[in-house]
A and B are shown apart, each in its own frame.
Chain A
Amino acid sequence: MTVDAATARRQSAMAVARAWMRDRPLVPLLLLLALLVVVLQVVQPGIVTAGWVSSTLRFAIPLAVIAACQTLTMLTGGIDLSVAVVASMTAYVMATLVSDFGWFGATLVALVPAMVVGLVNGIGVGIFRVHPLIMTISMSLVVSGAVNVYARANIAGGTRVPPEITWVGGQSLFGFVPNSLLLFVPLAALILFGLRRSGYGRLLYAVGDNETAARLAGVRVSALLVVLYLISGLLAGVAGLLYAGVIGSATGRLVDPYLLPSVAAVVIGGTSIFGGRGGYAGTIVGALILTVLTTLLNVLGMPEATRQILFGAIILAVAAAYTRITEES
C-alpha cells in the first residue's frame, strides 16, 4: 500500500515535471546543451574557455541563420531544401564579384539570385501548389547546375573573400565576442519578435495549423507563401555569406553539407515539421546543440564513420525524447 502511494506520488511528480517542461519547451533543450558542455569538459578538461565559447558561437550562428529558413517554412508545414545550394551560390557569386564591385556591391549583387530562387520557390509552392519538398529539391538541381555553369564561365576570374566578410564571420571583438553576433542578434530579435507580435508571423502559424481555416478567414495564402520563400532565399544567402566569412574561402559547394544539419537543428529545436507549432528560440538552441555535439564527436577522436552514426542516432533520440516531453497526452 505504501509502495503504491510512493509510486503514485512519483508518477504525479513526473507528470507535474512534464507539464512544466511542456509549457517551457526550451528548458529541456538548454539542459541538454549544458549536459553536452559538461561532458565535453569532462572528456577534455580545460577545453571550455572564452575562446571556445566564441568559436562555437561563430560556427553556430551561420547554422542558426540557415536553420531560420527551415523554421519559417516548417511553421507553415513546408520545408526549403534549396537553402544549402542557395547559400553556396551566394557565397561563391560574392567571392567572384569582389574584385569588380567591392565587398558591399558584391554582397548586394550576390543576394539577388538568392532572392530570385526564393521567389521561384514561392511561386511554385504558393501559386502552383507544388509540394514544397519537391519544388525546393527541383530548384536545388537547377541552382547547383547553374553554379557549375557560372564556375565554368568564370574559370579565369578566381575567388576572393574580402576582409570585411571575414571580419563579420570569422573574427571577434576583444578576442571573444564574435562579430557575427552584431548581425545575428538584431536578425534573431527581428525573427523572434516578428513571429510573436507581427501579423505576418501569426499568419504563418495560422496557415501551418489549418490552411483551409486560414484561407476561409481571409488570409491570402498564396501571397503569404510567395513572400515566405522569398525571405527564406534571402536568409539562405545571408547564411552563405556568413559561412564564407567563417571558413575564409568560397567554393560553389561551400555550404552544401549543412542542408541536413539545418533541418536537424529545427527538429531538435521542437518546431513541428507538420506546421503550426514551434519557434525560432528552439532553433537557436538546436543549432548550438549540434555545434557542440560536432565538437564533442571530434574531440572523442572517432573515425568519420562512427561520428556520422552517432550524429544520426543522437538527433533521432533527441527528437523522440522531445516529442514525448512536449506532446499533449
Chain B
Amino acid sequence: MTESADATVIPEPMAERMSWRDRLGRAIGGDAWTIGLAVAFVALFAFTLLLRPAYGLEALAIASLPVAFAAVGQAIVVISGGIDLSIGSVIALTNSISAVLLLAAPELSVPIVLIVLLIGLLIGLVNGALVVISRVPDIVVTLSMLFVWAGAALLVLPTPGGDSVPWLEDLIDGGFVIGAVPRALVVLLVIVGLVWIPLRRSRLGLSLYAVGSNRLAAFRSGVSVARTKVLSYVLAGFFAALGGLALTASTGIGQPVPGPYLLLSVAAIVLGGVSLAGGRGGLLGPIIGIFILGLIRADMLFLGVQSAYSTVIQGVIMVVVVMLGAWVTLRRRTA
C-alpha cells in the first residue's frame, strides 16, 4: 500500500510525433465544445452591439471577474473528481476579510492582498484535508464547510462594510494598452495562465486529470490520490480568494452574505464542457461560459426584459444546453 509517485513513468504527450494536420484535427476534436462556446460568445456580443452600439466589454469583464475566478476554482476541483459547494462562502469570507483589513490599514494594502491569498490557500487546505481525512464524500464535506465559512464571514463582518484601495480598483477598471481589451480580462487571463499553464504541463497537473477520470487506476499507477485531491482544493481556495479580492475591488466593500457564486460556478463548468464525472475539460470553457451568462443577462436588460423573466430564460437556456450536451454525449457513446 505504498504510494510513491516517483516510481511511475507518466508517458510524455505524443505531440512531437504528430503532423500539423493531426494536431489541428485533435485540437478541434478535443476543443470543439470550447470553440463552439467562443463562436456563441462572439455571436452574442455582435447581437449586443446591435442592441447597444456603445457597449464595451469592460463592464461585463468587471462584473464577471469574481464569478470567473469561482468558475476556475470549481473547474479544477471538478476535473479532479470532486465538487466544492463552499466556494461561494469562501468568496464571501475572503471578500469580507480583505474589506475589513483594507479599511483598518489602507497603507498596508499589498501585504493585505498577499495575506488574503494565503488565507484562501489555507481554507482550501482545510477543505481538502477534511475530504481526505474524514473519508466523507466531497459534496457532504464542502456542504458542511459552506456553513462554516459563511459563519466565519459573518464573524469577520456582521453587516456589509469595509473598504477597498484605489490601486486594487484601478487594476481591474478601465482598458488595457489601447483600451479595447478590458483590464479585468487581462488580469483574469494572466493569473489563470500563470497558474494553470505550467501546472497543466507538470506531473501534478496530469495527476489532477488522472485522479478525476479513474481514482483506482491513478492510485495503482502510483499517483498520490490524497495529495492530488488536497492540491485541487488548495487551488480552488486560492481562486476563491482571488474572486473575493476581485469583489472587493469591483464593489469597494465587503459583503458577508454570499451571492449566487456557487450556482453560477456550477452553471459555468457545465456550459464550459467540464464533465461532472471528473477527468475531462479545461478552464477556458468555463471562463467563456461565465461571460456568455453575463452577456445574456445584459442583453435581456437592453431588450427591456424584466429581471424575473430573465432568470427564467437563463434557466431554460441552461436546461436546454445541458440536455443537448448530455444527448450528444449519449449518441456518441451508443454509436
Q: Are A319 and B276 in contact (CB under 8 A)?
A: no
User: Which A129-163 residues sit within 8 Å CB-CB of chain B?
Assistant: 129-131, 133-135, 137-146, 148-149, 151-152
Q: Are B316 and A142 in contact (CB under 8 A)?
A: yes
Q: Are A323 and B135 in contact (CB under 8 A)?
A: yes
Q: Are A145 and B276 in contact (CB under 8 A)?
A: no
Q: Are B136 and A316 in contact (CB under 8 A)?
A: yes
B148 beta carbon closer than 8 Å to chain A: yes
Q: Are A146 and B312 in contact (CB under 8 A)?
A: yes
Expressed in whole angstroms, the Cα–Cα distance for A307 and B152 within the complex equals 10
Chain B nearest CB from A209 CB (Å) reads 16
Expressed in whole angstroms, the Cα–Cα distance for A276 and B103 within the complex equals 52
B152 closest partner in A (C-beta) = A309
Given contacts A129-B330, A316-B145, contact A305 B137 (CB under 8 A): no
The stretch among B16-24, B41-49, B52-60, B317-325 that forms the contact with chain A is B317-325
Q: Are A323 and B145 in contact (CB under 8 A)?
A: no
User: Which B147-206 residues sit within 8 Å CB-CB of chain A?
Assistant: 147-148, 150-155, 158
Expressed in whole angstroms, the Cα–Cα distance for A308 and B146 within the complex equals 9
**Contact size range, A:** 35 or more
Chain A contacts of B147 at CB under 8 A? 260, 308-309, 311-312, 315
- CB < 8 Å neighbour of A319 from B83, B144, B146, B315: B144
Q: Are B311 and A141 in contact (CB under 8 A)?
A: yes
Given contacts A138-B318, A146-B312, contact A129 B326 (CB under 8 A): yes
Q: Are A141 and B148 in contact (CB under 8 A)?
A: no
Residue-wise interface mask of A (7-19) relative to B, using a CB-CB cutoff of 8 A (1 in contact, 0 not): 0000000000000
Most buried by B among A130, A274, A310: A130
Given contacts A145-B315, A148-B311, A273-B139, contact A130 B323 (CB under 8 A): yes
Most buried by A among B147, B310, B314: B147
Q: Are A152 and B306 in contact (CB under 8 A)?
A: yes
Q: Are A267 and B151 in contact (CB under 8 A)?
A: no
Expressed in whole angstroms, the Cα–Cα distance for A128 and B321 within the complex equals 11
Chain B contacts of A324 at CB under 8 A? 135
A306 beta carbon closer than 8 Å to chain B: yes
Q: Are A319 and B136 in contact (CB under 8 A)?
A: yes
A79 closest partner in B (C-beta) = B139
Chain A contacts of B140 at CB under 8 A? 263, 267, 273, 315-316, 319
A286 beta carbon closer than 8 Å to chain B: no
Q: Are A308 and B150 in contact (CB under 8 A)?
A: yes
User: Which A59-110 residues sit within 8 Å CB-CB of chain B?
Assistant: 79
Q: Are B315 and A312 in contact (CB under 8 A)?
A: no
A124 beta carbon closer than 8 Å to chain B: yes
B134 beta carbon closer than 8 Å to chain A: yes
Q: Are A137 and B266 in contact (CB under 8 A)?
A: yes
Chain A nearest CB from B33 CB (Å) reads 15
Given contacts A267-B140, A273-B140, contact A305 B318 (CB under 8 A): no
A187 beta carbon closer than 8 Å to chain B: no
Q: Are A135 and B319 in contact (CB under 8 A)?
A: yes
A307 closest partner in B (C-beta) = B151
Q: Are A309 and B151 in contact (CB under 8 A)?
A: yes
Expressed in whole angstroms, the Cα–Cα distance for A140 and B267 within the complex equals 12
A27 beta carbon closer than 8 Å to chain B: no
Chain A contacts of B322 at CB under 8 A? 124, 130-131, 134-135, 138
A313 closest partner in B (C-beta) = B148
Residue-wise interface mask of A (238-263) relative to B, using a CB-CB cutoff of 8 A (1 in contact, 0 not): 00000000000000000000001001
- CB < 8 Å neighbour of B311 from A79, A145, A320, A327: A145
- CB < 8 Å neighbour of A145 from B145, B153, B267, B314: B314
Most buried by A among B151, B312, B316, B318: B151
Chain A contacts of B139 at CB under 8 A? 79, 273
Q: Are B130 and A316 in contact (CB under 8 A)?
A: yes
Chain A contacts of B315 at CB under 8 A? 138-145
A23 beta carbon closer than 8 Å to chain B: no
Q: Are A137 and B146 in contact (CB under 8 A)?
A: no
Given contacts A128-B323, A149-B308, contact A141 B135 (CB under 8 A): no
B129 beta carbon closer than 8 Å to chain A: no
A328 beta carbon closer than 8 Å to chain B: no
A264 beta carbon closer than 8 Å to chain B: yes
A4 beta carbon closer than 8 Å to chain B: no
Expressed in whole angstroms, the Cα–Cα distance for A137 and B151 within the complex equals 23
B211 beta carbon closer than 8 Å to chain A: no
Q: Are B143 and A134 in contact (CB under 8 A)?
A: no
B141 beta carbon closer than 8 Å to chain A: yes
Given contacts A139-B319, A312-B145, A316-B134, contact A134 B151 (CB under 8 A): no
B327 beta carbon closer than 8 Å to chain A: yes
Expressed in whole angstroms, the Cα–Cα distance for A263 and B141 within the complex equals 12
- Interface of B toward A, CB cutoff 8 Å: 83, 130, 134-137, 139-141, 143-148, 150-155, 158, 263, 266-267, 270, 276-277, 306-316, 318-319, 322-323, 325-327, 329-330
Cross-chain pairs A/B with CB under 8 angstroms, 14 sampled: A130-B322, A133-B276, A134-B322, A138-B318, A139-B315, A143-B315, A145-B315, A149-B309, A151-B308, A152-B308, A267-B143, A305-B154, A309-B151, A323-B136
Name the 3 nearest CB pairs between A and B, nearest first.
Answer: A312-B147, A145-B311, A308-B151
